């Protein structure tokens, strides 16, 4: 598909962001740091919460998503490209058309076989590695890390959170996170301080917190980040996640849970989620409709919406 479009992804250098959790936040943090240095930056993240336009950004603002997709649609349809492949191609072509200085690209799933593994990546950032998508990426963290770090090319700087998987990342390894990835691209330190916020990522709405923690590591991270409070949890979890362990982690944040079911076809039925929650919560209610579940949770106290970004998306469309 990209070859038919003239290989737009080769028109600029890239920073490739891989990992289990935190990729979108890292991507937009790198974007903001490089923009502060005066660079024109394209970025792409997934999934979106309210609008597909969130997935393709240029210089910190959403691109014209419909125009970007229209540019590649005829060739994408002719080649029967997947939805994700089409959006990636649209992003890469938009970046080339806008003559950006650098692209910051979040990987979709893994790395080695991901549609984003076509870039001229000067820097690869690994955010972390957890046991997720084991049916595709491997059954151990090392196997999963190897899949993610397969995007490292000769000459690429690999930025890792620690030394655990340094042996899989080539010879040019730097320890750190988003800031170190931006500095590796620049070849020098940056003194700018930036803050980014994303919908559904530790999003505070008054007393409520909406966070799309969608796996065990994400749930554990959320527990560490939130101050002690007796939240009422409004939760949906996808079937391919370890829901029982997630719920055990999340029980540290509250004693009441309202089980619901987001619109994703992979979502656990609310009744099944409730059965898994009962050993960990004093009060468990079932409300399959997310809006009804949120309303019911609000009757009991401060609300934490979590378990799936798809649940966040469902509710965000009803409560912008």
Residue count of the chain: 320
Same domain for 175 and 66, yes or no, is yes
Same domain for 39 and 149, yes or no, is yes
Same domain for 12 and 161, yes or no, is yes
> Is 1 among the domain residues?
no
CATH number at residue 216: 3.90.190.20
CATH number at residue 178: 3.40.1190.10
Same domain for 17 and 116, yes or no, is yes
Q: How many domains does the chain divide into?
A: 2
Task: Quote the domain boundaries for residue 29.
Answer: 8-186
Give the pLDDT of residue 131: 79
At residue 86 the predicted structure's pLDDT band, cuts being 50, 70 and 90, is very high
Distance CA(274)–CA(295), nearest Å, equals: 17
Give the pLDDT of residue 109: 82
pTM reported for the whole predicted model: 0.90
Q: What's the distance, CA 61 to chain centroid?
A: 18
Give the pLDDT of residue 299: 96
Distance CA(307)–CA(4), nearest Å, equals: 39
120-140: average pLDDT: 88
Same domain for 53 and 104, yes or no, is yes
Q: CB of 48 within 8 A of CB of 218? A: no
Same domain for 181 and 214, yes or no, is no
Model confidence at 123: pLDDT above 90: yes
146-167: average pLDDT: 96
């Amino acid at each position: 598909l990209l070859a038919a479009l003239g290989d737009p992804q080769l028109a600029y250098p890239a920073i490739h962001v891989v990992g289990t959790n935190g990729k979108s936040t890292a991507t937009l943090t790198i974007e903001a740091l490089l923009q502060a240095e005066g660079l024109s930056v394209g970025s792409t993240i997934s999934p979106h919460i309210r609008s597909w336009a969130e997935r393709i950004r240029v210089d910190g603002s959403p691109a014209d998503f419909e125009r970007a997709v229209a540019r590649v649609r005829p060739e994408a349809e002719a080649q029967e490209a997947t939805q994700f492949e089409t959006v990636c191609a649209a992003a890469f072509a938009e970046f080339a058309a806008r003559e950006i200085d650098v692209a910051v690209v979040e990987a979709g799933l893994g790395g080695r076989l991901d549609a984003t593994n076509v870039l001229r990546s000067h820097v690869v950032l690994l955010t972390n590695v957890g046991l997720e998508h084991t049916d595709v990426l491997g059954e151990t963290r090392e196997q999963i890390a190897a899949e993610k770090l397969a995007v490292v090319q000769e000459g690429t700087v690999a930025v890792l959170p620690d030394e655990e998987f340094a042996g899989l990342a080539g010879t040019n390894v730097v320890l750190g996170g988003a800031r170190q990835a931006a500095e590796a691209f620049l070849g020098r330190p940056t003194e700018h301080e930036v803050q980014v916020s994303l919908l559904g990522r530790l999003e505070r709405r008054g007393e409520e917190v909406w966070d799309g923690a969608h796996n065990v590591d994400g749930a554990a991270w959320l527990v560490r980040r939130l101050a002690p409070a007796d939240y009422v949890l409004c939760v949906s979890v996808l079937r391919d996640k370890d829901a029982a362990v997630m719920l055990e982690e999340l029980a540290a944040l509250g004693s009441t849970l309202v089980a619901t079911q987001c619109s994703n076809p992979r979502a656990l039925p609310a009744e099944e989620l409730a059965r898994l929650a009962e050993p960990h919560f004093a009060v468990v209610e079932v409300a399959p409709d997310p809006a009804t579940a949120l309303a019911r949770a609000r009757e009991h106290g401060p609300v934490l919406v979590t378990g799936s970004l798809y649940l966040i998306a469902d509710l965000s469309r009803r409560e912008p």
